[in-house]
Amino acid sequence: MGSTLPFFRSLLAARSLRYVAPADRTGPTGGKDIDEVAVERAVHGDRVALNTAERREAVRRLTVSGVSGPEIALRLGVCGRTVTRARAAVRRYGEPARP
């Protein structure tokens, strides 16, 4: 039992390093920069890892161009609920800030 204690301590330390305070995630971009190239690639159907701000921007662009929610989910590789939340965030905060 004594040998597992260091493992759990390191696990807790690793989790605390990845924690982001809720105050840092407010606003349209979530405090993150938007990579325009990644967003454009995602909009055109490439599988690209996007952060929250980039995903919201991609959803906004696809919604403006008239793409349906399920189609957006397929293009971005996310579930439909993620698209709904991203649309709600764009409505709530307005358009993401441009770099």
Q: Is the pLDDT of residue 9 over 50?
A: yes
Is 88 within a domain? yes
The more confidently predicted of residues 57 and 22 is: 57
Report if residue 44 sits inside a domain: yes
Task: Note whether residue 4 is domain-resident.
Answer: no
pLDDT in tens, 24-50: 444 444 546 888 999 999 999 888 889
* 70-97 pLDDT per residue, tens: 999 999 999 999 999 999 988 887 765 4
> pLDDT at position 18, please?
47
Is residue 48 situated within a structural domain? yes
Domain, as residue range, for 79:
25-93
The total domain count for the chain is 1
Of residues 62 and 31, more confidently modeled: 62
Please write down the HEC assignment for all residues of the chain: CCCCHHHHHHHHHHHHHHCCCHHHHCCCCCCCCCCHHHHHHHHCCCCCCCCHHHHHHHHHHHHHCCCCHHHHHHHHCCCHHHHHHHHHHHHHHCCCCCC
2 within domain boundaries: no
